[in-house]
């Protein structure tokens, strides 16, 4: 039995919320590995991991620089170079934040690479979701899988024009910056072209709509979505309660 698009979306979003609320790098690593295994089972592991690498590589580098070297709250100094200090607390904070973000990114990429966009748009229309919101979500899901392939073509074109990428991290970071600009501009242009095409076909017009696609939504999946939403809400409430400072009796 295939998953309803809203069931897959709910599972991905609720798992990301619970992982963020838990704030545990062990749970984040487990969720990231589970997402990678599910991607391998679905046959999209290479594409998911490539897109995740493009997103997470600069993030991990910035976390290492900001928190690994300049974590003001750190006390256990492992190494020091002038004002830069490598502290155990800073590395722990960077590890927790990085693994948490990696888990959320892998979950959302897994959803975007496996969901059927026409089925998702049909499901959203059946729930009377505004067509503009459906268009934004559908456009994002269409563009994200194409990002890794487009980035590879940009890299090849720039290397053909004389771009030399060294082995050092600074050289790779500079090359990534040069490749990110045409990537973002190309994605924005593609989104604009798709918006014009859909608008010309009356996608944004108000009024009743008729769908020619019929989706089965089993009761078991509806119960799962409700339970997942309750679990995510409970995780957020528990996180807020434990993080809220308790009053000290006088």
Instruction: List, for residues 148-162, the tens digit of each pLDDT value.
Output: 667 667 777 777 777
Of the candidates 14, 221, 211, 222, the residue with the CA atom closest to the CA atom of residue 129: 211
DSSP state of 72: T
Tokens of 55: 């997103």
pLDDT confidence bin for 250, thresholds 50/70/90: very low
Q: What pTM does this model have? A: 0.72
Instruction: List, for residues 178-219, the tens digit of each pLDDT value.
Output: 777 777 777 677 767 776 776 676 666 666 666 677 788 889
| DSSP-based three-state secondary structure for 204 | coil
Cα separation, 199 vs 64, in Å, equals: 44
Instruction: List, for residues 221-242, the tens digit of each pLDDT value.
Output: 999 999 999 999 999 999 888 8
**Highest-confidence range of 3-12, 62-71, 81-90, 223-232, by mean pLDDT?**
223-232
Mean pLDDT of the region 74-80: 74
Residue 247 has pLDDT above 60, yes or no: no
Tokens 């391998």 correspond to what residue? 40
């Amino acid at each position: 039995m295939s998953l309803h698009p809203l069931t897959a979306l709910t599972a991905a979003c609720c798992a990301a919320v619970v992982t963020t609320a838990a704030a545990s790098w062990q749970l984040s690593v487990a969720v990231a590995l589970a997402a990678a295994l599910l991607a391998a089972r679905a046959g999209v592991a290479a594409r998911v991991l490539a897109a995740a690498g493009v997103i997470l590589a600069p993030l991990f580098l910035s976390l290492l620089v900001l928190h690994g070297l300049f974590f003001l709250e750190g006390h256990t100094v492992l190494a020091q170079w002038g004002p830069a200090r490598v502290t155990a607390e800073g590395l722990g904070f960077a590890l927790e934040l990085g693994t948490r973000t990696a888990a959320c990114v892998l979950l959302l990429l897994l959803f975007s690479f496996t969901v059927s966009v026409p089925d998702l748009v049909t499901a959203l229309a059946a729930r009377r979701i505004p067509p503009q919101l459906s268009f934004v979500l559908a456009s994002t899901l269409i563009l994200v899988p194409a990002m890794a392939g487009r980035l590879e073509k940009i890299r090849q074109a720039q290397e053909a024009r004389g771009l030399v990428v060294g082995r050092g991290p600074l050289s790779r970071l500079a090359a990534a910056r040069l490749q990110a600009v045409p990537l973002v501009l190309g994605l924005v242009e593609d989104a604009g072209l798709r918006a014009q095409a859909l608008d010309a076909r009356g996608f944004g017009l108000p009024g009743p709509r008729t769908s020619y696609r019929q989706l089965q939504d089993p009761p078991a999946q509806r119960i799962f979505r409700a339970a997942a939403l309750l679990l995510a809400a409970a995780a957020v409430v528990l996180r807020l309660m434990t993080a809220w400072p308790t009053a000290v009796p006088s």
